[in-house]
Structure 1
């Protein structure tokens, strides 16, 4: 595996580029996102755990998969259609000496989640960690430009799918297991061109807090948390915005640059490890220094 140091290799903002189809392909990005820090030494924080990651083929999901494998976990990833990206993630996980199960399908359909959870259980016999990470976004300049079809797709992919998948996985989790959801800085700040997307991310934040309270009340011993990324360099960015917008990506953060997936994945690792045993219902903000008081 090739590891790179983003401080040396990556520009503060990307060059102009655009991909015409979501969820986008990581191999077509330039530069490609950094997946794992060269300095990270695994210490078996997730030894022999089984992790199910939605949207695990690229971007933040790929970084989580590789980082968790380095920490001793076996991985199952659900992806929509980007087979090449999924196969590359599998290769990287296997280079860490762990197993990676690829599951292709549309999570906005509840029957897909049931089938995939069954496949994970048949392959590994258990699930210890669920990462709800898949999502889409379609910028529009006005609310009146958001069609019924777009609204339905955004909500079904970003929040309905989390309900579907979590509902299927939850009966198989045990005390000490955990769920981490990917929300967004837009949940706290809003976004003038991503009204429907930001609304789903607000729902994910509230889902995280509500499910945490519910499971703690039931004394299930299962923790539920979230990570709220800011501007992170993933395939969703060039496949969502035009080239001019992409070339300014992350420039307005206090750090003055975009973040890399390798800088987000450790937040998920912390929340899923025993280091976070007294943390539930919380959100970690990985956004380049923007203070959101959330």
Structure 2
């Protein structure tokens, strides 16, 4: 059966309400998730939320963004408070729950590309700092997953690593702190090893892991090199050559988290989004039965949508998953 889910971010500030809506939408119909509500302010965003998980690597928030520092700043302390509150709500909303539950964290390379060193340059420019960051992230995420497992014992944990900056890291497209140059590209083998470090560190604690990237030029071959790692993408951004790699990934038994529904969709029927996807699926030679390995999602996060639009987009993903389930049996 094709399932539905979402990327993770939603509009609003009421996390308890957001969780109840998510559970109602996806319980028995897909994969519910711990929502992120960045409207609450600094620390509720992807970077601040993940920075609060780092072990022995304090950060603070400057006008220029998040920065590694000697002591935790008030914004990362607030981020930790947001997360603890969210986990308390999670325990209540998912009391007695049994089934898949998705958690989202920032991946190591987007984190290294975004966090600044004390002197102002991106952490990714310093190999030693990047290694420390990766190790700290692995430890912190492991602790986070352990807490969720205790709070929701029946959960089958899906861990999503958000890596929107990964293509820019690989291609050397990140601007320097001054804005006048570009950060040197990181070698693919180094990127692969960093991803392997974090995914292998939690492999025994989670049921599955997915790398999500809704930017162009997703490095599909690199994802295929990481044992068991699933892929989440905005399918509208995939090039023909990338589809070949996606087909190999699916045929190897991994799931594709397909961002089929645009975040600004005004479709009257989910068929407007499933038919182009099915056309590409067939053209690349994938069998209809393999649609059971697809999880339908919005193309990217929904924090920028209105609450009503975010709900409508997610409802479209559930309906689209139903259509693909039917297509799988044709």
Scaled by the length of structure 1, the TM-score of the pair is: 0.37
Larger Rg, first or second structure (1 or 2): 2
Scaled by the length of structure 2, the TM-score of the pair is: 0.34
Name the structure with the higher helix share: 2
